[in-house]
Structure 1
Amino acid sequence: MAPTPYVPQPPQGVRSGGSKGDYPAHWEADVISRDGQMFHIRPIRPSDAAALQDLHLSQSESSRVYRFFAPRGELTEKELDQFTRVDHAERVALVVTDSAEEEEVLAFGTYDSSGPGTAEVAFYVADSAHGRGLGSILLDHLAAAAWERGLHRFEADVLPTNSRMLAVFRDAGYTLTSRLLDGVITVSLDLLPTAESRRVLAAREQHSESLSMAGVLNPAAVVTVGSSPALPRGLPAWDGSPFSVPTLALIDDDAASLSGHLTSLGLAGAWAAVVLTRVGEPGHWFRALLRSARDSDLRLVGPSSFGILTADGTNLTREPALRGGGVVSVLTHRRRSATEITDRLVAAGVPVRTFLAAGNRLDVSGNDAMQWWLSDPGTRVAAISLDSIGNPRKFARISRALALTMPVVCHIGSTTGQSAPPGHPVRTSALPRAVLSGMLRQSGVIEAGSRADLVDLACLAVGGRPAAVRLLATTPSGEEAAARALAGVAVEPHRAAEGGSGGGTPVVPALTIVVDQPLAGEVREGSAAEVARAAEGAVIAVMRHPAPVRIEGSSAVVTDDLDRAVRLATLLLAPPAADSPPAGGDVDLAAARRALAHAEPGALTEEATANLLAAYHLTARQQPGGDGWEEVLVEGTEDPLYGPVISLHHGGDAKMLGDVAYRIAPLTERDVAELLAEPRSAVQLTGRDLGPLRDVTGRLARLKDDLPEVSHVLARVLVGESSTLIVRVEVRLAGGGRLDTRGRAMAGGEFGWGMGPAE
């Protein structure tokens, strides 16, 4: 008999569903279909029998034949009982409905365990719902459930003429094999994620989520709801009539009326709502408010939003001077952040493409905004200010994709990730803030040290990220001071010529620093504005008495702090995001599962640890004698907020001194190389062959990414002049789930809520 797999538990704070037979509430989720509409997916219940019968009877004869391989009338009570009474482990069934309150079943999918690690999967999608991607969504969520239950392969029998179902399997991106026997195609799907399955999941997620955000950032019409005098003037107040075009509602009313407004707007056909109403601490009503928006098929911005500026330049913010028509799109959270950023944008005269203040980020978050920017040809720079973060793994995935297409600048608060601001129902982490900084570097995102830096970096990045820094100065002393400050930075020096015209042009696009800080009695060779005319691209003007510098065709930032100018330039010169192969190599996941089959929570035995390492082609050896070895510790932790965090530090006091590098799995080969190079102690490895250490680190990161039940893994690695050895590995298991699962789902689950009907 095959061993029972180790079953991880659902995320902390979510209703239990880990034991066989228990209802797994953490599998409930709101999802967005291929056409941008919202649906609800959940485990089946015995009470769904009548709805399942209605679905069956509404189907065409061909659809019934595709599902049951023969014409079928009504389903028998025994069949309905078999479909709806499952153990949520060896037999699983999920249904898709219009909302959490809706009983009508639009689609359902099942799997039945058929052997060690294998299950037979089947789908039934309403004819009226074909073409919306519900079959693919069911496959995603069934695969996530199967993976959680220790299964790694799906099989299905499909009639050759059932092209829709064959396409669902073929297009999922998993390793697929098939054979034709007696007029039936048997499809076998390996559920181990591949580079293609990850790409497909991300592409589908981006397509559907960006469509759903069109009603927020690019609506055809806007109406106001509520009696607040703070609502913008000149916009029509909603009179209760149904909407004929994609419409955004701007709401400012008392908190008790918000759910009712959302329900009424949904019935009238609105697409989205921005709630300006300020609220305090989240409570049970927060969940009810989100449930009202989801059940009404509305995207919700807020509550406590500062407002938005849409793609056509319509200003719906609290700052009337904010202008549209630019190329920088901005995302903020709290009003304090939004106020400071809009003040700086207005003072600098910078127009924006879109602006979104998510407020309490109950539904729409930075991840949603980035998905829309990926599809928006008008956005050329993304500027993000995070007061909290709900799903860092998803943020990392989307921001990396965005950074491949444009400069992305991000400011994170001093306690972001470690504590939740008032009114932000998000998880927190005990890990240091350096994890977030590592995540941004991993994604190719420029981290701004302040909101002032965020605005200036976004302005400077409008023309793209420079490959070098060019230096112009109005005086010899200015050139000398800048040269000292720029030591170690890639610089193309050039002092202004007589009259301030300057000569020569950069071979590659460059950022120009103009230093105009003459000493007493020193003769200037032209003003900063005159000297800056020699620049081709963005300019930072360093002046003793800052004044606006207008340069036609260029972005200019003015400061009196040369060190700040150098810091901004250095940030912009950081390597941009780039594609890189996944790290970790080939593994034997089935063997890894077997190694954990009988394990209990706590420390893994030496034998089980050795078997687990062998599945990832790793071996721990005895510590060698002699000197010349450099100790490196690679650690993997399952964090309730970040998921699988990989850290690396050298031996001795390095960790105590904070000399630790962090990344979030999965890692690419480039991520691993940067992880090894980032600690200050990395100089100890100069001249040594780091290939084996990169391989070990990549495989340990792959292990942590594959196995959420591994709560902690610590490997002590010795790097010598000509060899690298793993000398000790400690592994611990714990019940706990991962926030960012493989199934596409909207925000809500990260708040610690099962996304079923509000109680």
Structure 2
Amino acid sequence: MMAGIKEAPVHALLTDGTTVRIRQAGPADSDEVLRLYEEMSLEHLRLRFFSVSPASARVAADRVAAGERPGYRALAAEYGGHLVGLAEYEVLPPGSSAEIAVAVADGWHHRGVATLLLEHLADAARTAGVTAFTADALSENHEVLKVFHDLGLRVTRHFQGPEVHCTVELTEDEPYLEAVDARGRVADVVSMQRLLRPRSVVVIGAGRRPGSVGRAILRNICSGDYTGPCFVVHPEAGAIAGVRAYRSVSDLPQVADLAVIAVPAPAVAEVAQECGKAGMGALLVVSAGLNRHQSGALMDVCRRHGMRLVGPNCLGLANTADDVRLDATFAAHHPGPGTAGVAVQSGGIGIALLDGLARLGIGASSFVSLGDKYDVSGNDMLQWWESDGHTDLAVLHLESFGNPRAFSRTARRVAHSMPVLTVDAGRSEAGRRGAASHTAAAATPTMTRQVLFAQAGVTATRTIGELLDTAALLHAQPLPKGTKVAVVSNAGGVGVLAADACAEAGLDVPSLGVDLVNELLGVLPDGATATNPVDVTAVVGEEQLRSCTGLLARHGAVDAVLVTLVPTAVATATGEDLLHALTRTAGRLPRPVLAVLPTQSSRVELLQTAGETAVPAYSDAEDAARALAHAAARAKWLARLPSAVPELPDVETARAREIVAAYLDANPEGGWLDPRATSLLLACYVIPQIPWAWAEDDDEAVAAAERLAGPDGRVVMKAYWPGLLHKSEQRALHLDLQTSAQVRAAHRDLITRFGDRMTGVVVQPLAERGTELFAGIARDEVFGPLVVFGLGGTATELLADHAARLAPLTELDAHDLLASPRCSPLLFGYAGSPTADLGALEQLLHRLSRMASDLPQLTDADLNPVLAGPHGITTLDARIRLAPRLAQDPYLRRLR
């Protein structure tokens, strides 16, 4: 990470929402460092240097002025071009710990400057191999001691008279990540206040004639009864749509919290600069068509002035809270107030979702059209909804993920408190064409999105309609505890169709027990059947249907009840209201009840009950079944016990990084490791490998065969040259070699066919029989590292039986990964086959996960085949590819 800061400073939020710039400090900062200390109070100088000698400030400035050197690093936090904080470390012999110092300018205390600097300094130190910080402080310096304590890292203190010696261990474990998350969440939500709860708004770019985007937004703000003052800036007009206009931002009677910018693309950055200079806190840029230069200029202005940004190229934003009532969109209708938070990248999808949620009576608490998503992202919105006190359902449509691992972590936390739904539209396969490894071919873009959503507990639907179907159920009914469904119908044919829909959605329609069947038949009309589907017949009455539904929903035999009803002449003639039977009952039942009404004109409706709940009614049984399957999946995810990433104390991360660095020093553009380097890297992570030897002529091959041959005396010979990937396809291997003559002949054959391309051969003992599996790592440019697992052997790509999870894997992730491929029954003793060593396989996945997390330069790893048996596993063939890439901690606090 440190190299990243050196090359490109980053911006991050303080606890009060202020944006500061974090960068490496150097010789050019000497005067600023001196000013920082000279402007400190005498008390703060004494606490920092243990004295008030003027020489201390000069020594500190000179230390920074000496510049970058081995074992020393300094980071600066600046605001408005001035230094507001400084953090330094200097490595102590033998090099595993470093002494640190931190200073914050007067007037900037208690805003999180020191904590933010120490987070970034710790990240840089970890990358340099430092495992602990040490610091000496006066025991009365409670502020700095509290900073160390609150970092979330393990801190030990040793008091020596008036001084205290602190040691801070630079572990990056769950408590530390949770502490960073909490600080980031507070800062993020505070920074969004002026965006989503603005006390005043100005619209810049509203035209004098109807039809402009800016004028449409102004009209919606005014007609939506926004609770604060709304201003307009126009260089010529005296008023726009009845609102007084001011000639420039500087002429406004007060500084607005939020500026809505709807000017042509070339003018956006200049207008944003005027807003920043005036002290505005947030921008909503609906303008489209910004080129790279204009985009960069806009972001530079926002970061320099600490303004949060939604857009550009977006529909707008809204907050329906009674004390805000802001509709700053150019949608045709105001969003209906409610409890769903909605964030989308596509304005059209946003309109469809808002209309659907309003029609269902769910409504929206807040809405943000992210557009090109330069700044505010799905992560930001999840954190806002988590804390706003109004939202109980999160709805997202994201076409890209700026920081997938951070999104996964945030979504996982939020999904425990409210459902998080998204439309998974999928991604193009074009980026994967011509993939150079089995792993890259297996880790398809669609798989990576599904993996991200599944691990994070996000309910991913295929269409907007399916999302609204699911939202209706999750909003209105309790979650099912499992997948068993009772289907009830007043016409046998529709009941059969509903049962088929449930089965196709992955639900179970079980036969009911004799006692329950007899109870049901006791309350139903003659001629009814109650085996499941339950046919209540066309003559069922309201009270009979209510009793039947209640019996099923209270009984432990099923987890949900799906009632499908068609209008009949019998019910009409007797005046029975079958829907009334459902709405009278469902509000007091412990299990979800859904209705399917094939004659209903709309796809899904919410039928109000006597209680606080509603019954979701669908026109198609397939829609109801898919919604119920999503609800069951959410219940299963919520029921999972917390799971951690296991520690692997025998891993040699430092040695692995040395191997990677040495290879990239010799091969700056990256490439595939040779067998020796591959084996060494796998050994650093204690990944089991079959014994092997390298040979460059037939004499060496024969000697290796004699040394490695197993009890049956047979060996395998594999050709090698840089870039060789699929040996079997090129017939670059020989199996079942028993004699020296066969070994020599095999070597001559490979030499004859491949000539000077071949740099040598690998000789291995012939492996015993077992299940051939595939395991590997793929690094997706959007989602980061994935661990892939599935069926191995020569047909691994043809059969495409693979699953994947994002690294790092928790214990549950590894278990799920083993159970996900279609071939997984082979591991559990299918048809009398021996059970594989599941513990060894889980260990393999965790070790690959650790390797993927430790080494950002590792782009592909193929372990194929991995031979699994009852007594362990072993890797028979492995390939690893590296590429130059800077390490970047996905959890380090920084703005995009």
In 2 relative to 1, CA 245–539 (structure 1 residues): closer, same or farther, beyond 3 Å?
farther
In 2 relative to 1, CA 744–39 (structure 1 residues): closer, same or farther, beyond 3 Å?
same
* SS of aligned partner of 1:129: coil
> For residues 378-457 of structure 1, what are the structure 2 equivalents within 5 Å?
378-415=390-427, 431-457=444-470
Amino acid at match of 2:200: A
Equivalent residue in structure 2 for 1:646, among 779, 787, 794 = 787
Q: Give 1:48's aligned residue.
A: 29
In 2 relative to 1, CA 549–457 (structure 1 residues): closer, same or farther, beyond 3 Å?
closer
CA distance in 2: counterparts of 1:212 and 1:418, whole angstroms: 38
Answer yes or no: is the 8 Å Cα contact 1:542–1:565 preserved in 2: no
- Equivalent residue pairs, number: 715
CA distance in 1: counterparts of 2:161 and 2:672, whole angstroms: 50
Once the two structures are TM-superposed, the CA of residue 473 in structure 1 deviates from its matched residue by: 2.1
- 1:668 maps to 2:810: yes
CA distance in 1: counterparts of 2:682 and 2:140, whole angstroms: 45
Q: Write 1 or 2 for the structure with the bigger share of helix.
A: 2
In 2 relative to 1, CA 281–219 (structure 1 residues): closer, same or farther, beyond 3 Å?
closer
Q: Give 2:84's aligned residue.
A: 106
CA distance in 1: counterparts of 2:153 and 2:430, whole angstroms: 36
Once the two structures are TM-superposed, the CA of residue 572 in structure 1 deviates from its matched residue by: 1.8
CA distance in 2: counterparts of 1:568 and 1:664, whole angstroms: 26
Amino acid at match of 2:812: R
- 1:247 maps to 2:296: no
Q: Give 2:884's aligned residue.
A: 735
Amino acid at match of 1:737: L
* SS of aligned partner of 2:405: helix
Deviations 1:503-534 (A, max 9, x none): 21524896553323579999999677345424
CA distance in 2: counterparts of 1:604 and 1:538, whole angstroms: 58
CA distance in 2: counterparts of 1:520 and 1:739, whole angstroms: 69
Q: Give 2:489's aligned residue.
A: 473
In 2 relative to 1, CA 658–628 (structure 1 residues): closer, same or farther, beyond 3 Å?
same
Deviations 1:295-343 (A, max 9, x none): 2222111112211121414322223434343111111012232233234
* SS of aligned partner of 2:495: helix
More moved, 604-613 vs 170-179: 604-613
CA distance in 2: counterparts of 1:117 and 1:93, whole angstroms: 18
Answer yes or no: is the 8 Å Cα contact 1:466–1:511 preserved in 2: yes
- 1:516 maps to 2:565: yes
| CA RMSD in angstroms, aligned pairs only | 3.3
Deviations 1:249-297 (A, max 9, x none): 32322223322333333344433221222x1264111011112122222
CA distance in 1: counterparts of 2:69 and 2:468, whole angstroms: 50
Answer yes or no: is the 8 Å Cα contact 1:358–1:364 preserved in 2: yes
* SS of aligned partner of 1:486: helix
In 2 relative to 1, CA 149–696 (structure 1 residues): closer, same or farther, beyond 3 Å?
same
Amino acid at match of 2:498: A
Q: Give 1:580's aligned residue.
A: 642
Deviations 1:370-423 (A, max 9, x none): 11111122211111111222111111111111111111111133327988xxxx
* SS of aligned partner of 2:165: strand
Amino acid at match of 1:103: G
Deviations 1:661-685 (A, max 9, x none): 1211222111111111111121221
In 2 relative to 1, CA 730–304 (structure 1 residues): closer, same or farther, beyond 3 Å?
same
Amino acid at match of 2:100: V
Once the two structures are TM-superposed, the CA of residue 176 in structure 1 deviates from its matched residue by: 3.2
Amino acid at match of 2:645: A
Deviations 1:634-681 (A, max 9, x none): 212333322222111221334433322121122211111111111112
Equivalent residue in structure 2 for 1:594, among 618, 641, 655 = 655
- 1:710 maps to 2:760: no
CA distance in 2: counterparts of 1:205 and 1:484, whole angstroms: 47
CA distance in 2: counterparts of 1:510 and 1:354, whole angstroms: 33
* SS of aligned partner of 2:110: coil
Equivalent residue in structure 2 for 1:699, among 823, 847, 850 = 847
In 2 relative to 1, CA 733–471 (structure 1 residues): closer, same or farther, beyond 3 Å?
same
- 1:237 maps to 2:378: no
Q: Give 2:346's aligned residue.
A: 334
Q: Give 2:306's aligned residue.
A: 297
In 2 relative to 1, CA 452–550 (structure 1 residues): closer, same or farther, beyond 3 Å?
closer
> For residues 71-110 of structure 1, what are the structure 2 equivalents within 5 Å?
71-73=52-54, 79-87=60-68, 90-98=71-79, 102-110=80-88
Which one scores higher on RCO, CA 8 angstroms, separation ≥ 6? 1
In 2 relative to 1, CA 108–588 (structure 1 residues): closer, same or farther, beyond 3 Å?
farther
* SS of aligned partner of 2:890: coil
* SS of aligned partner of 2:608: coil
Q: Give 2:513's aligned residue.
A: none
Q: Which is higher, the Rg of structure 1 or of structure 2?
A: 2
Q: Give 2:775's aligned residue.
A: 634
More moved, 336-345 vs 409-418: 409-418
Q: Give 1:561's aligned residue.
A: 620
* SS of aligned partner of 2:164: strand
More moved, 713-722 vs 29-38: 713-722
Equivalent residue in structure 2 for 1:286, among 292, 295, 313 = 295
Once the two structures are TM-superposed, the CA of residue 552 in structure 1 deviates from its matched residue by: 1.1
Answer yes or no: is the 8 Å Cα contact 1:113–1:119 preserved in 2: yes
* SS of aligned partner of 1:662: strand
CA distance in 1: counterparts of 2:573 and 2:126, whole angstroms: 69
* SS of aligned partner of 2:541: helix
Q: Give 2:128's aligned residue.
A: 149
In 2 relative to 1, CA 106–265 (structure 1 residues): closer, same or farther, beyond 3 Å?
same
CA distance in 1: counterparts of 2:342 and 2:790, whole angstroms: 35
Deviations 1:583-608 (A, max 9, x none): 3323256x320343253125557666
Equivalent residue in structure 1 for 2:116, among 114, 122, 137 = 137
Once the two structures are TM-superposed, the CA of residue 551 in structure 1 deviates from its matched residue by: 1.4
* SS of aligned partner of 1:383: strand
- 1:570 maps to 2:629: yes
CA distance in 1: counterparts of 2:573 and 2:373, whole angstroms: 51
Q: Give 1:25's aligned residue.
A: 7
More moved, 77-86 vs 377-386: 77-86
- Mind listing any 5+ residue stretches in structure 1 that lack a counterpart? 1-7, 11-16, 420-427, 748-759
Once the two structures are TM-superposed, the CA of residue 445 in structure 1 deviates from its matched residue by: 0.9
CA distance in 2: counterparts of 1:403 and 1:121, whole angstroms: 38
CA distance in 1: counterparts of 2:413 and 2:430, whole angstroms: 26
Deviations 1:110-137 (A, max 9, x none): 1222233332221111121111111111
Report the identity percentage.
27
In 2 relative to 1, CA 744–210 (structure 1 residues): closer, same or farther, beyond 3 Å?
same
In 2 relative to 1, CA 626–735 (structure 1 residues): closer, same or farther, beyond 3 Å?
closer
- 1:68 maps to 2:81: no
Deviations 1:344-389 (A, max 9, x none): 3344454111111111111111111011111122211111111222
Normalised TM-score (structure 1) = 0.86
Answer yes or no: is the 8 Å Cα contact 1:386–1:416 preserved in 2: no
Deviations 1:475-500 (A, max 9, x none): 22222222233235145865558224
Q: Give 2:761's aligned residue.
A: none
CA distance in 2: counterparts of 1:356 and 1:193, whole angstroms: 33
Once the two structures are TM-superposed, the CA of residue 192 in structure 1 deviates from its matched residue by: 2.8
- Mind listing any 5+ residue stretches in structure 2 that lack a counterpart? 207-213, 233-245, 432-439, 511-531, 665-670, 692-763, 830-834
Q: Give 2:473's aligned residue.
A: 460
Q: Give 1:57's aligned residue.
A: 38
In 2 relative to 1, CA 624–436 (structure 1 residues): closer, same or farther, beyond 3 Å?
farther
More moved, 736-745 vs 38-47: 736-745
Deviations 1:425-479 (A, max 9, x none): xxx9995221111110011111110122222222221145433545332322222
CA distance in 2: counterparts of 1:54 and 1:400, whole angstroms: 45
CA distance in 1: counterparts of 2:113 and 2:57, whole angstroms: 25
More moved, 348-357 vs 203-212: 348-357
Equivalent residue in structure 1 for 2:579, among 529, 534, 537 = 529
CA distance in 1: counterparts of 2:876 and 2:162, whole angstroms: 55
